[in-house]
Copies of this chain bind each other. A is one copy, B any other.
Amino acid sequence: MTKHVKGAEALPLNQIIAGDCIDVMNSLPAASVDLIFADPPYNLQLKGDLHRPDNSRVDAVDDHWDQFSSFRAYDEFTAAWLKAARRLLKPNGAIWVIGSYHNIFRVGAALQNEGFWILNDVVWRKSNPMPNFRGKRLTNAHETMIWAGKSEDSKYTFNYEALKALNEGIQMRSDWVLPICNGHERLKDSKGDKAHPTQKPESLLHRVLVGSTNPGDVVLDPFFGTGTTGAVAKMLGREFIGIEREESYRTVAAARIAKVRKFDREALSVSVSKRSEPRVPFGQLVERGMLRPGEELFSMNQRHKAKVRADGTLIGDDVKGSIHQVGAALEGAPSCNGWTYWCFKRDGKTVPIDVLRQQIRAEMREQ
């Protein structure tokens, strides 16, 4: 299918175009696209191998397309594809770009330099990220998306009520908790290996497209990969244009999209987290000043006491550890629920620490 726009050039809709995205974008008619979703190379700069504690090797992103000789080279690449992308956007068009700390700051600055107007940065909080195996940094548990209008005065599309509905009637926030793409959704090649190292979950694109496009809008993805953007666009009744350099990815994407039915909501069902109470680490009571480091806690039976430390552990006579561990040790029990075991004193009264946890949970429910 092609679509004719003012200027008589044809727009190749619902196709995957082979080639370098900058060249291809430059060959398409200007001001013809409503939304761009881009998942560019992150320039991860990985060095050696990484092993899990069980000695298995992590299958890293070592593909040639992620290699850049320097930040400067990456910046030039970024400016070039953003320029081409901006030309394609209608005046009221918008763009989403996803990245990690390796590249997102350079991408964000480049967006601003090119005249895009940032509307929000959105954090994808992964419910099941890969841990930091060596314990040398924080678990890298999120990626960042930037949502920007073509210019400061673009009348961008924002379906406020639709997103609010997706969020159980509460205004959608800038942090989205979604699982990574695995299980059956993760596309495999003929050998059973993952077809693409960085396939994005459809739930993420669902939220992006519901929130910032209308049915019939044209969505372009210059780094199409295995076509998550195209698959979700088709389900949601949006038109897509994919650009992808690697033949193997194009093949997988084409087969995938062919199987998609419009309004195929089944594929989007995000595993709903159990409706259980949120976990509140004891350390949070300390960080938030509800209990002071050095303060004494007393056991329910008044037989034992222990001091709170700055890291949210307790120290008693010859025992250190979590509220549960210290409670268990002092009672000589195999286990102990520290939340119901320990109390603190306020104004002469003895108060169970669980009261403070309830307080935090109540706050969390409010918004």
A residues apposed to B, CB below 8 Å: 49, 51, 55, 57, 67-68, 71, 100-102, 104-109, 111-113, 115, 118-123, 125, 127-129, 131-132, 135-142, 144, 146-147, 152, 158-163, 165-175, 178-179, 185, 201-203, 206-207, 210-211, 235-236, 263-264, 266-271, 273, 279, 281-284, 286-289, 292-295, 307-313, 315, 320, 322, 331, 333-336, 363-364, 366-367
Instruction: Find out whether the CB atom of A136 lies under 8 angstroms from the CB atom of B158.
Output: yes
CA distance A57 to B68 in the complex (A): 37
Q: With a CB–CB cut-off of 8 A, which chain B residues contact A121?
A: 100-101, 104, 144
Q: With a CB–CB cut-off of 8 A, which chain B residues contact A101?
A: 108, 118, 120-121, 146
Q: List 25 A-B contacts (CB under 8 A).
A: A51-B334, A101-B121, A104-B121, A105-B105, A105-B107, A105-B108, A121-B144, A127-B364, A127-B367, A132-B171, A136-B160, A138-B163, A139-B171, A139-B174, A141-B173, A162-B310, A163-B311, A165-B283, A165-B312, A166-B311, A206-B287, A236-B310, A267-B295, A271-B313, A271-B320
Q: In chain B, what residue has the closest Cβ to A270?
A: B311
Q: With a CB–CB cut-off of 8 A, which chain B residues contact A108?
A: 101, 104-106, 108-109
Known: A71-B113, A202-B289. 6 other contacts (CB 8 A): A128-B366, A166-B311, A202-B287, A236-B310, A266-B309, A268-B309
Instruction: Find out whether the CB atom of B283 lies under 8 angstroms from the CB atom of A174.
Output: no
Q: With a CB–CB cut-off of 8 A, which chain B residues contact A146?
A: 101, 105
Instruction: Find out whether the CB atom of B315 lies under 8 angstroms from the CB atom of A266.
Output: yes
